[in-house]
């Protein structure tokens, strides 16, 4: 595959950081910069409308962080993370992203990352794990504080404090909160890995439960158990789920 030009989107909430990336990119006539974005919402809108080949994406941003941006994108550009994160996250970036730039980075390091991203585009190898799976891997030791869900052009933030329970629906999860349901394309296992295990338990292969929603456990005629939530909802509890609940709450 040959390609004469590449389109790029630069996302960083720090103006000087954006300017540095843009300066480096402008040294390459084959790169056309589509837009500069100062926050995650701008990035989602620009990427959805313009579908860049390359995405230079900051991680720590207000409103939407870099992982949440990726979760909301329908396109999958070759993504280079720009981060000031501690070293604990780097292995996840290395495993799942085209490359990462650890602030502050040199021009030589930028050139290396750009070359990798262009090579991925040329080889047609920009497929990555689903963004929610990538986010789960990269957030190791950093539990979620909210869940972001996209429905068309609408973005909904679900606070974990208001989450009633989660049910697996094939490759989706159904999030129950305040009498409403939201579908998110993510496996229950990967969502479980993002959550604080002291607050959320997998009580059944299909159900994830916030422990503070549990009112009581009821035993059936056999060794089966049922979780009764504070609002009266009944959820099945597996043997392993019962053991985990007993260990956590005594």
Tell me which H or E stretch contains 150: strand 146-151
**Would you say residue 226 lies in a domain?**
yes
**Would you say residue 1 lies in a domain?**
no
Q: Which residue has the higher pLDDT, 29 or 133?
A: 29
> Do 121 and 222 reside in the same domain of the chain?
no
Task: Give the 3-state secondary structure of 209-224.
Answer: EEHHHEEEEEECCCCC
Can you give the C-alpha Rg of the chain in angstroms? 21
The CATH number of whichever domain residue 71 belongs to comes to: 3.40.50.2300
**Would you say residue 18 lies in a domain?**
yes
Q: What is the pLDDT of residues 64-110, one digit of tens each?
A: 888 888 888 877 888 898 888 765 456 556 656 788 888 899 999 99
Interstrand relation of 214-219 and 207-210 (parallel, antiparallel or unpaired): unpaired
> Do 163 and 119 reside in the same domain of the chain?
no
Q: Which domain holds residue 148?
A: 143-249
Which of 41-45, 94-98, 201-205 is the least confident region?
A: 94-98
pTM score, two decimals? 0.78
Asked whether 209 and 199 are in contact (CB, 8 A), the reply is no
C-alpha 223/C-alpha 239 separation (Å) is 8
Q: Give bridge partners of residue 35 from the DSSP assignment.
A: 9
**Would you say residue 92 lies in a domain?**
yes
How far is C-alpha 140 from the chain's CA centre? 12
**Would you say residue 161 lies in a domain?**
yes
> Do 53 and 85 reside in the same domain of the chain?
yes
> Do 178 and 64 reside in the same domain of the chain?
no
**Would you say residue 43 lies in a domain?**
yes
Q: What is the pLDDT of residues 222-238, one digit of tens each?
A: 778 999 999 999 999 99
> Do 18 and 109 reside in the same domain of the chain?
yes
At 128, the pLDDT band (50, 70, 90 cuts) reads low
Q: How many domains does the chain have?
A: 2
């Amino acid at each position: 595959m040959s390609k004469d030009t590449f389109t790029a989107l630069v996302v960083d909430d720090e103006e000087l950081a954006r300017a540095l990336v843009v300066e480096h990119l402008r040294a390459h006539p084959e790169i056309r910069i589509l837009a500069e974005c100062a926050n995650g919402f701008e990035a989602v809108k620009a990427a959805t409308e313009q579908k860049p080949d390359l995405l230079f994406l900051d991680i720590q941003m207000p409103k939407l962080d870099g992982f949440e941006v990726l979760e909301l994108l329908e396109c999958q550009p070759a993504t280079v993370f720009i981060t000031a994160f501690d070293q604990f996250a780097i292995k996840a970036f290395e495993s799942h992203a085209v490359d990462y730039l650890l602030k502050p980075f040199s021009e030589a390091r930028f050139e290396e990352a750009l070359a990798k991203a262009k090579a991925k585009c040329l080889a047609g190898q920009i497929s990555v794990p689903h963004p929610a799976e990538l986010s789960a891997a990269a957030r190791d030791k950093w539990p979620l504080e909210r869940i972001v869900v996209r429905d068309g052009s609408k973005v909904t933030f679900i606070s974990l404090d208001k989450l009633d329970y989660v049910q697996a629906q094939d490759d989706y999860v159904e999030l129950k909160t305040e009498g409403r349901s939201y579908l998110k394309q993510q496996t229950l296992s990967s969502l479980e890995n993002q959550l604080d295990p002291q607050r959320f338990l997998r009580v059944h292969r299909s159900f994830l439960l916030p422990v503070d929603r549990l009112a009581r456990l009821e035993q059936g005629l056999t060794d089966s158990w049922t979780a009764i939530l504070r609002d009266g909802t009944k959820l099945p509890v597996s043997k392993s789920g019962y053991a985990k609940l007993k260990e956590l709450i005594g």
